[in-house]
Structure 1
Amino acid sequence: MFQKVAIIGGGAAAATLVSELLERRTPRPLHLTWFAGSAQPGRGVAYGTPSERHLLNVRAASMGMFVSKPGGFLEYAQALDPTVKGSDFLPRRLYGDFLQSRVDAAIKNAPQFGHDINVMPFAAESLVPSPEGVAVGYGDEEAHVEAAVLAIGSLPPRPLAGVADAALASGRYVTDPWPYLAGVESDDRPLRVLVIGLGLTAVDVMLDLSARWPNAHFTALSRHGHLPEPHLAAASAPGDDGTDLVESMRDDPNVRGWLHRLREAAESADDWRTVVDGMRPYTQGLWNDLPASERARFLRHARWAWERARHRMPPQVARAVGKLEAACKLTRMRGRMQSVSLRMDGDLDVVRRETGKDTTVSETYDIVIQTVGLNTDTLRTEHTLMRQLVIDDLVTPDRMGLGLAAQPDGHLLDGNGKPRGNLFAIGSLLRGALWESTAIPEIRKQAQSVANMLTAK
């Protein structure tokens, strides 16, 4: 058992693990040091938005914080509003409130289990694991613990290739939309806005800005030009448990065959969403079955389609985006951004290549916002702690840019590819090992598993 443990990160994954540990009865008391980077941790980027337009894309009944209590969030929401239903898609702000309330309660109740926790409003800047323990550096100080868990979430976004330094310096090319949305003001001008990417973040950005910029026109550019699929209005269960489909996929682990089987299953189902949802308990195991070459093939050719089907929009969000398109305030385009440069008049010149064509098109915008999804490329990140770990060869970056090399149980691999007994990760850093590793239903299972290992006799 590890008694002295450092948890590094201030978002939902870290909050879940902290609460999981503090509410356990253990053979010996725990002494936790939480490097949260904030005086009020728990929300992170995902649940830090104050906008009521930004909704969870998972129904309330499935968003509990603990494996043993999956309905915890629904109970919290119904205590505030008895009309809330388990099938509702609620504001992410409310889920942030829930996380903070659970963390606060766990910290308050920790002494009755004999535990104590030191919440550090600093980010960990260095980490040196050894057989004797882990040294965690922050500022000019250093903390010594027996084990550490990285729960840092997505890495800071990096500008896409082809964006000129002058465009970045102008502030008109937005690499990270969330701080931008937090400070943006209302504007009645007919702004020309390019959004690069068409996932759930892009949808959130466009809906929020369209309310503040009523005369703006949004152009959304992605490789295939498709929005995320919508959820059904009512929750539905799979027609069967999906085991026949999964077993057939395990017997022949290749992406082309898998896509063929999925299409067949979707065509025979009452609704294709039930097939995708029915696969969720098996996705991590299927990913583990895929050879490295097939994983690379999936990322090149099928990732966009899977994520569009897997990470869906709430019905009311889909309707709101549809209204933007019907009002001619949103245009979707297929292609890739080639370059962004700053003009003499302060506008941005964007060169894009249309999908399936050799020609390029140049257009001018007032604002360009990058919304290309989670950054998990640990080899190229500017994140201080991650750079130190990689440069010092203390961890191994995932070869496909999906976080860190790790065992499926969360043990990180050292520079030689061997598992470290006292260094773990949960959340998005495990995408390479698990693929499905960013949503609360998966994170709470990881938190329970890592907590079991940390507290094992």
Structure 2
Amino acid sequence: MRDGVEQSGGHPGIPENAMEHTVLPDKPSHIAIVGGGFSGVCAAVQLVRSSPAPLHITLIEPRDRVGLGLAYSTTDPDHRLNGPTWVHSIDPQDSGHFTRWCEKQGIFSADSQALLPDGSAFVRRADFGRYMESAFREHAQWPATQSTITHLRARAVDALEKGDSVELVTDAGHSLVCDLLIIATGNPQPRLQAPLDASLAAHPGVVENPLDTQRLLEIPAQASVLIIGSSLTALDVLATLLRQGHTGKMVSISRRGLQPRPQAPSAGPLSPPPTVPVAPATATGRQMLDRILGPAPDFLTQPGVEPTLRAWIRALRQRIGEVQAQGASWHLAFDELRDVVWRTWPLLPTAEKRRFLKKARTWYDVHRFRSPPQTQSLVQAAQAQGRIEFRVDRIQSVAALEASGPLRVCFAPRQGNAKRCEAFEVIINCTGLDVLARVSSNPFLSALMDKGWLTPDACGIGFAVDEHCRALTAKGTKQRAVRVIGPPTAGTFGDPLGAMFIAAQIYRIVPDVLSSLEASRMR
């Protein structure tokens, strides 16, 4: 054991004694993973832990640190995970893995606010980034099979067919031939969206990327601030401003005025024991993973419930009413759906999926992505004191009055009222996922789209893949040597967006990936 990261058992598709009967090939299979955030590192770690044969994995990531991605690059101590430690594990079979690492690293002692009275812990995102780096180091040399994981600091720009293999090209001039390419590019960098003109990003009063901690720290305490959005990111920004002692006007706007819901009550079969801060594997084991791998909930699949958005919302509301009548919270019924969205989402016709994205996604997201208790308490207290204003509003236009002065924001008229305009010294973009930026900001993905290796899914929010995450070409052909994992598969599976759900997705496809590599070696 190194860095507090423990080794554990293999994948259920690989027998415990597989190594005793496996003749190792002279040359390890080479896997290239483009993207070194959570998805990429989690895939690399699970693969080397599960494979009975040696693997050489190259993680292509331009940042100097791996495992952080967008979400865990923040250094702000008020930016916390929006789920407890036991749902943030690189090994989905061991829900206590991250919790034990935190205990060994003294996280709960150094961060007195992390551990709650019920025994659950919501730690800083920066600490989770350290955990991911630790897991990468632990598995960089895997002695059981002599597998390796190497970080190549570069940016992938193209991929070419080379027989049955793939040749990957980087901006630094590298040329890597691999047996399998895994695309793990995660979410795109935040950018300004309409009606804000892209040129406003250059204005000193506009923060295009709300995850840029340094920009937030540079905001004057007296400045009037407009936050576009009211999601978890918006709450993080408000927490940063509040902790700095911000005294200026703070306004958060969104079209529906919905804010992230609070966490579920801690009592329940998936919670860590309330008497100890560490959730041992014997207490929680595979419970969360088993739930995610389970069947679609009965209340959606029973006779008479059609696969339509309207019917499913009606069924969910009825189920919520049932559990509340039994003294439980709405979280129980909602999570029965959330945990197996990857099974239920494909049952909806494409027209219904698009209807959900247009009409119901915001409602779903505020229940799905819940606020850390510490952040929620901080923001709610400030709101009660009148320091923060949440508004239901929609921007019509934004104009810079001067090159470095205030910005004039005009809001859409309400019910025939006159247009309202206000001046703000700072505007912070928290508008959420920009699907178009996924390809336009990434030359590698653009190149693969141009070749037809990647094609948009039917909903237009990611890339089309099959049940094993094999990329589908524009003609619908399965790409044996190209897989896509994580957020870019949201259009196919509905919700591989949180750490546990990405880890579970990888877990599901590992047997097929290893089987495909073995078949390639036999050819």
Following the alignment from structure 1 to structure 2, what is the Cα–Cα distance between the partners of residues 176 and 111?
41
CA RMSD of aligned residues (A): 2.5
Residues 1:48 and 2:73 aligned together:
yes
SS at match of 1:127: strand
Question: Map of 1:185-264 to 2, 5 A cutoff?
Answer: 185=217, 189-236=221-268, 243-248=297-302, 251-264=305-318
Aligned counterpart, 2:34: 8
Q: Flag the 1:449–1:213 CA change in 2: closer, same or farther, 3 A.
A: same
Q: Flag the 1:406–1:262 CA change in 2: closer, same or farther, 3 A.
A: same
CA contact (8 A) 1:194 1:368 kept: yes
Following the alignment from structure 1 to structure 2, what is the Cα–Cα distance between the partners of residues 186 and 164?
23
Q: Flag the 1:368–1:250 CA change in 2: closer, same or farther, 3 A.
A: farther
Q: Flag the 1:157–1:401 CA change in 2: closer, same or farther, 3 A.
A: farther
Identity of aligned residues (%): 23
* Of 269, 285, 291, the match for 2:343: 285
SS at match of 1:177: coil
Offset of residue 317 of structure 1:
1.8
Aligned counterpart, 2:475: 416
Bigger shift: 187-196 or 229-238? 229-238
Aligned counterpart, 1:302: 360
- Write the letter of the residue equivalent to 2:365: E
CA contact (8 A) 2:300 2:312 kept: no
Query: Could you list the per-position Cα deviations for residues 121-170 of structure 1 after superposition, in whole angstroms to 9, with x for gaps in the alignment?
Result: 11211123465211211122321111100111101223211223552221
Q: Flag the 1:424–1:359 CA change in 2: closer, same or farther, 3 A.
A: farther
Bigger shift: 55-64 or 427-436? 55-64
TM (norm. structure 1) is 0.92
Following the alignment from structure 2 to structure 1, what is the Cα–Cα distance between the partners of residues 368 and 103?
27
Query: Could you list the per-position Cα deviations for residues 40-82 of structure 1 after superposition, in whole angstroms to 9, with x for gaps in the alignment?
Result: 2111111121222111111112212112222100111122347
Offset of residue 304 of structure 1:
0.6
Question: Map of 1:360-439 to 2, 5 A cutoff?
Answer: 360-377=419-436, 381-439=440-498
Query: Could you list the per-position Cα deviations for residues 248-299 of structure 1 after superposition, in whole angstroms to 9, with x for gaps in the alignment?
Result: 3894111111111222222232311111112233211111000011011111
Residues 1:24 and 2:82 aligned together:
no
Aligned counterpart, 1:168: 201
* Of 105, 108, 112, the match for 1:80: 105
Offset of residue 202 of structure 1:
0.8
* Of 63, 67, 70, the match for 2:95: 70
Aligned counterpart, 1:114: 146
SS at match of 1:31: strand
Residues 1:442 and 2:467 aligned together:
no
Q: Flag the 1:207–1:273 CA change in 2: closer, same or farther, 3 A.
A: same
Aligned counterpart, 2:159: 127
Q: Flag the 1:187–1:124 CA change in 2: closer, same or farther, 3 A.
A: closer
Bigger shift: 115-124 or 423-432? 115-124
Number of equivalences = 453
SS at match of 1:113: coil
Offset of residue 35 of structure 1:
0.3
- For structure 2, which runs of at least 5 residues remain unmatched after alignment? 1-24, 110-114, 271-290, 519-523
Following the alignment from structure 1 to structure 2, what is the Cα–Cα distance between the partners of residues 294 and 358?
35
Following the alignment from structure 1 to structure 2, what is the Cα–Cα distance between the partners of residues 276 and 354?
35
CA contact (8 A) 1:12 1:99 kept: yes
Following the alignment from structure 1 to structure 2, what is the Cα–Cα distance between the partners of residues 359 and 411?
53
- For structure 1, which runs of at least 5 residues remain unmatched after alignment? none
